[in-house]
Amino acid sequence: MDWVVTVMLALGLVFFTGAAVGILRFPDFYSRLHPAGKMDTLGSFLMLAALALQELSHFTLDNVLVAVKIMLIVVFYFIASPTATHAIVDAGLRAGQGAWHKPPGERP
Amino acid sequence: MPQTQPPEDRYRAEADLVSGQVRPVKRIYSFLFVFPTMLALWVVLSGRFDAFHLTLGVISCALVAFFSGDLFFPRPPHPQQTFILWLRFPIYVPWLMYQIVLANLHLLYLTFHPRMPELIDPHVIHFRSSLKSELALLAFANSITLTPGTITVRCSPDGDFAVHAIDRASAQALPGEMERRVAHTFGED
């Protein structure tokens, strides 16, 4: 059980690192939202699920309640995160934020 | 991009709310749905099972569900459709998780690729979805945003979608299988 928790925490860290690097590397506002808004989702799912599993390794009612609460965080995150991302994109479009396009010669 | 949506479309739901045109039967129905959900949430969040706390929970949940139950569903869905939804949603979620993992790995590969700017090609695609109910459109729009590589930019009640895609491969999958599965989940196929 400890191994599963450790591996899930490490994988979550990998996705969070990817998200942070992605925000720095992608060329414009809109494409930066892709790693920012969504790799976070899988990263936090992995880490929170790992914490819930860790709680469940001592199986008492209190621990089960804590695990259910942690999974509730995941559920709300999965609803709120895409909505927030959508709101940010919409705000960018309304404010007239320009988009990065591939130079014409480079299209495959 | 100008918002060319006719205002009556966008404010239809709010108008329903203001005029209070919710049939009593549907009120009871949405109360029967909202009350158990809130009570379950209360029990989990409080974590106390003695009579005092449970009674408090029942009273406050009943009050909130009675006064604002129809806020959650301005136009309550058909009972039969809701039953199908409860049955099929647990099948849809694992598939969505699988798609999220696949797409996340793709995005991770793009992020750490040394020649990333040559691989990506951000663009906006437009398509028209055949989904009808607002709940199905919401689930579809959020599913698109959750799977990395695509973000829903705009989604009208009529099913007009604008989606920002990070590269050509991410865009090709839309609307395709995901729309079919959402339609199946909400009993619209």
pLDDT in tens, A86-102: 888 888 888 877 777 76
B138 lies in some domain:
yes
Tell me which residue range forms the domain holding B94: 79-185
Best CA proximity match to A30, nearest among B174, B164, B147? B164
Best CA proximity match to B144, nearest among B177, B172, B178, B169? B178
Residues B50 and B101 in one domain: no
B82 token code pair: 């809701």
Residues B87 and B67 in one domain: no
Q: How many CA within 13 A on the CB side of residue B139?
A: 20
Domain finish residue from B54, B72, B90: B72
Average pLDDT, integer, range B7-20:
49
Are B100 and A100 in contact (CB < 8 Å)?
no
Domain finish residue from B72, B88, B116: B72
* Angle of the B24-46 helix axis to the A61-94 helix axis, nearest 10: 120
**B17 in Cβ contact with B71 (< 8 Å):** yes
Domain finish residue from B45, B72, B99: B72
Residues in A lying within 8 Å of B, measured between beta carbons: 14-15, 18, 21-22, 25-28, 30-31, 33-35, 37-39, 41-42, 62, 65, 68-69, 72, 78-79, 81-83, 85-86, 89-90, 93, 99-102, 106-107
Average pLDDT, integer, range B162-180:
75
B28 versus B142: which is more confidently predicted? B142
**Please, what's the b/e burial string for B35-45 (b: 16 or more CB within 10 A of its CB; e: otherwise)?**
beebbeebbee
The three-class DSSP label of residue B100 is helix
Residues B176 and B111 in one domain: yes
B54 lies in some domain:
yes
Residues B44 and B128 in one domain: no
pTM of the model: 0.74
Smallest Cα distance from B161 to chain A, Å: 12
Residues B138 and B158 in one domain: yes
Residues B176 and B101 in one domain: yes
Interface test with B, best of A14, A25, A34 (most B CBs within 10 A): A34
Residues B92 and B172 in one domain: yes
Q: Which of B122, B147, B149 minimises the CB distance to A100?
A: B122
B123 lies in some domain:
yes
What does residue B152 show for φ and ψ, rounded to 5 degrees? -70, 120
> pLDDT band at residue B168, thresholds of 50, 70 and 90?
confident
Identify any residues that bridge with B165 across adjacent strands, giving them in sequence order. Answer: B123, B150
Residues B90 and B161 in one domain: yes
Quick one: pLDDT at residue A9?
Answer: 92
**B45 in Cβ contact with B56 (< 8 Å):** no
CB neighbourhood size of A99 (10 A): 15
B121 lies in some domain:
yes
A52 versus B5: which is more confidently predicted? A52
Give CA A26 to chain center in angstroms: 17
Interface test with B, best of A13, A42, A55, A70 (most B CBs within 10 A): A42
Average pLDDT, integer, range B23-41:
77
Are B164 and A30 in contact (CB < 8 Å)?
yes
pLDDT per position as a tens digit, B63-96:
888 888 777 665 555 667 777 777 788 888 888 8
B111 lies in some domain:
yes
B2 lies in some domain:
no
B2 burial via Cβ count (<10 Å: 0-12, 13-18, 19+): exposed
Residues B18 and B100 in one domain: no
Structural domains of chain B, count: 2
Residues B91 and B176 in one domain: yes
